[in-house]
Amino acid sequence: MLGIGLAVLATVGWGISAVFVRLGLRYMSTTVGTFVSLISGFMLTLIITLVAQPQELLSLTWIAIGWFSLVGFFNFPMGRLFNYLSVARLGVARSTPILSTSPFFAVTTSVLFLGEKLTVFTVLGTVFIMAGVYLAVTDKSEVR
């Protein structure tokens, strides 16, 4: 039950974050806003890591640092910046379903490059995701 409660809390955190982004875009450019959000997120994570797992942080190898820098490149200059750019152009409601397709891309990458098996469930999931994205993309409502 605790796991479910925490998972719900995590999704609320992401939902609220999207709301703050939409509001913040009225006062700040997308690139600067992305930078500010990253600095604040980094400070929070750094403090918690230094309190909870200082040894893990201080004993990182150069390979681990390089690897997670690569993760950071895909997650932030690519992921978060383009996420905020889409929110600026489409709004939260229309961009959310498309942004949520990341598991589809994760599975596709795993199948293409890591040799993971394509299953019936994966194909079914992909069909549902495509249908959902089609509905969101063909929505004609105006962005205010």
Q: Which of residues 58-97 bind other proteins (CB under 8 A)?
A: 60-61, 63-65, 67-83, 85-86, 88-97
Q: How far is the CB of 53 from other proteins (least distance, A)?
A: 5
Q: How far is the CB of 57 from other proteins (least distance, A)?
A: 5
> Is residue 48 near other proteins by the rule CB under 8 A?
yes
Q: How far is the CB of 68 from other proteins (least distance, A)?
A: 4
Q: How far is the CB of 133 from other proteins (least distance, A)?
A: 7
Count residues near other proteins (CB under 8 A): 118
> Is residue 118 near other proteins by the rule CB under 8 A?
no
> Is residue 15 near other proteins by the rule CB under 8 A?
yes
| The three-state (H, E, C) secondary structure of the chain, written as one string | CHHHHHHHHHHHHHHHHHHHHHHHCCCCCHHHHHHHHHHHHHHHHHHHHHHHCHHHHHCCCHHHHHHHHHHHHHHHHHHHHHHHHHHHHHCHHHHHHHHCCHHHHHHHHHHHHCCCCCCHHHHHHHHHHHHHHHHHHCCCCCCC
